[in-house]
């Protein structure tokens, strides 16, 4: 089937590549000329393991092409996925201007039936607004459908998630839309046995916001427990392990740390709180989740302050800039909270990240970036761990302790066993552990 995907970012590019690999013909559209030029040269604008090879394979097979023209995308396919950004807007409300723009452009250009599929994460009832927009801007009386197909992939394992999803959710209002989406996903359903859930559009939209908000709640819950652990002399790692063995709870997303970040959780929780408020429900639980998350960063900052006493002129090695390992994405990453604060306090920073350095440099071009982890910590007064990269967990702690000026680690990801670190003469502060 021919499929157009508008928005060629983390979601659009991975989804498009996945559809092409399944045998569909895909046109990826983006209004960022630089991105499309890169892709045409088979250079990836984002980092995702395995993506480059798969894009190359499918471009060479003639199954995927790139364009900046939304008109071309509209002509190319009956089904148009919208995978543009929905960043936080005014007071946490999702900014839906890019989604609206795509709806308008497609409506103005289409001359026969089109199915517009929301792939972007959008608040409930966006489908209704999209339908209104398309109806308003249609030049002639052409039939169309709107559907929702929320995306659950995770950066860092995006391709695996795309080919082996836990579930596929489609929100549809017509037989035609259902048939088209089922045809697209049929190869995955047949191969993996994954369940395809069909529901109405509002339920599909809500499934995504509710899922992300629940995961964020789990993280904030264990972070709140970590604070109690610190006060009570308990170890949050042991508590979380004990909790997680209960199958109803599970271990995942029970890692205490510096709090959640990234392009999804913070903005999706914000948008869910805002949307609920708008339609008449004060989602106090999620407001608390947000507060706890922010509090974790402040709490870690206090640990830094407490340990160093004076931050000015202290050499601090920042280990990890990405919001999580396996990606170059720095949106809402903890590094974006700590780096400006530490700079303001007069710290002498050196920064290390194996993948996200380039993205961070775009914001902070003049900082001291080190490509070698050991070089980054050499002569430092403190190492601050913000991303749980494997390189950091595998570091030779003995060597690290000897090469620092004062061997101090502030660990925002609870990466090491405290006794082991201390056996190397390193002062070690982590989250929720005695
Ligand atoms: N990144 C994730 O892990 C993830 C996971 C699930 C869902 N989502 C959701 O998917 C959506 C996209 O996220 P992303 O991380 O891929 O964002 P992104 O910023 O990486 O990509 C969005 C792309 O859309 C393009 N764009 C914006 N307006 C356009 C227009 N009018 N025409 C053509 N292109 C346009 C931008 O240039 C950009 O390349 C968001 O709603 C996000 O919440 C993201």
Average pLDDT, integer, range 240-256: 97
d(CA 168, CA 150): 8
- Cβ distance 135 to 167 under 8 Å? no
pLDDT at 32: 98
pLDDT at 375: 98
Tell me if 151 CB under 6 Å of ligand 1: yes
pLDDT at 92: 76
Residue 40 CA, ligand 1 centroid: distance in Å? 19
Average pLDDT, integer, range 97-123: 97
Nearest CA to ligand 1 atom 36: 7
d(CA 185, CA 238): 41
Nearest CA to ligand 1 atom 13: 85
Average pLDDT, integer, range 49-74: 98
Nearest CA to ligand 1 atom 30: 31
Average pLDDT, integer, range 195-220: 97
pLDDT digits (tens, 9 = 90+) for 303-323: 999 999 999 999 999 999 999
Helices (H) and strands (E) in the chain, counts: 18, 14
pLDDT at 333: 97
Average pLDDT, integer, range 179-203: 97
Residue 116: beta bridge partners?
A: 80, 146
Active site (annotated) includes residue 376: no
pLDDT at 434: 84
Tell me if 31 CB under 6 Å of ligand 1: yes
- Sheet with 315-319: strands ordered across: 368-369, 348-352, 315-319, 382-385, 408-411, 427-429
% of the chain with per-residue pLDDT over 70: 100
pLDDT at 88: 86
Angle (CA) 24 29 32, round 5°: 150
The mean of the pLDDT values for the chain is 97
Tell me if 13 CB under 6 Å of ligand 1: no
What is the number of other CB atoms lying within 10 angstroms of the CB of residue 159? 18
Per-residue confidence at 374, pLDDT binned at 50, 70, 90?
Answer: very high
The token pair that represents 145 in the structure block: 């459908």
pLDDT digits (tens, 9 = 90+) for 278-291: 999 999 999 999 99
The token pair that represents 81 in the structure block: 């996925």
Q: Which secondary structure element, helix H or strand E, spans residue 316, and what is its range?
A: strand 315-319
The token pair that represents 25 in the structure block: 């013909």
pLDDT digits (tens, 9 = 90+) for 88-99: 887 778 899 999
pLDDT at 91: 77
Nearest to 158 by CA among 336, 16, 272: 16
Closest ligand 1 atom to Cα of 122 = 41
Length of the chain: 434
Q: Which domains does the chain have, with CATH numbers?
A: 2-198 (3.40.50.720), 295-429 (3.40.50.720)
d(CA 368, CA 380): 13
Average pLDDT, integer, range 63-72: 98
CA distances from 231 to 19, 228, 236, 299 (A): 51, 5, 11, 13
Average pLDDT, integer, range 209-217: 97
Q: Which secondary structure element, helix H or strand E, spans residue 116, and what is its range?
A: strand 114-118
pLDDT digits (tens, 9 = 90+) for 250-267: 999 999 999 999 999 999
């Amino acid at each position: 089937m021919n499929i157009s995907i508008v928005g060629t970012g983390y979601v659009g590019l991975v989804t498009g590549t996945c559809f092409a690999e399944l045998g569909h013909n895909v046109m990826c559209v983006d209004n960022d000329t630089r991105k499309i030029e890169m892709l045409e040269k088979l250079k990836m604008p984002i980092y995702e393991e395995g993506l480059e090879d798969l894009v190359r394979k499918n471009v060479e097979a003639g199954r995927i092409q790139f364009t900046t023209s939304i008109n071309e995308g509209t002509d190319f396919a009956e089904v148009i996925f919208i995978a543009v950004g929905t960043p936080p807007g005014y007071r946490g409300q999702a900014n839906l201007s890019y989604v609206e723009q795509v709806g308008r452009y497609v409506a103005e250009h289409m001359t026969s039936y089109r199915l517009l599929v929301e792939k972007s994460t959008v608040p409930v009832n966006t489908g209704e607004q999209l339908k209104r927009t398309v109806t308003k801007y249609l030049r002639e009386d052409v039939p169309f459908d709107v559907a929702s197909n929320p995306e659950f992939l995770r950066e860092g394992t995006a391709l695996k998630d795309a080919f082996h999803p836990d579930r596929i959710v489609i929100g549809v209002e017509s037989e035609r839309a259902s048939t088209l989406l089922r045809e697209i996903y049929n190869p995955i359903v047949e191969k993996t046995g994954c369940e395809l859930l069909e529901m109405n559009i509002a339920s599909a939209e809500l499934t995504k916001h509710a899922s992300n908000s629940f995961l964020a709640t789990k993280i904030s819950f264990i972070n709140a427990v970590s604070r109690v652990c610190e006060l009570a002399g308990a170890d949050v790692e042991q508590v979380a392990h004990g909790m997680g063995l209960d199958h109803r709870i599970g271990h995942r997303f029970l890692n205490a740390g510096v709090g959640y970040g990234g392009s999804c959780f913070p903005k999706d929780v914000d948008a869910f709180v805002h949307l609920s408020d708008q339609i008449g429900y004060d989602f106090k639980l999620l407001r608390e989740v947000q507060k706890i998350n922010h509090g974790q960063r402040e709490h870690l900052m206090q640990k830094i302050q407490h340990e160093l006493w004076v931050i000015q002129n202290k050499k601090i090695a920042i280990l990890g800039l990405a919001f999580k390992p396996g990606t170059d994405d720095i949106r809402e990453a903890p590094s974006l909270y700590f780096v400006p604060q530490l700079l303001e306090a007069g710290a002498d920073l050196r920064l290390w990240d194996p993948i996200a350095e380039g993205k961070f440099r775009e914001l902070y071009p003049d900082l001291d970036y080190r490509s070698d982890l050991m070089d980054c910590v050499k002569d430092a007064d403190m190492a601050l761990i913000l991303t749980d990269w494997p390189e950091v967990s595998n570091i030779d702690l003995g060597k690290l302790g000897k090469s620092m000026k004062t061997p101090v680690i502030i660990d925002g990801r609870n990466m090491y066993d405290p006794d082991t670190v201390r056996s190397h003469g390193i002062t070690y502060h982590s989250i929720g552990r005695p």
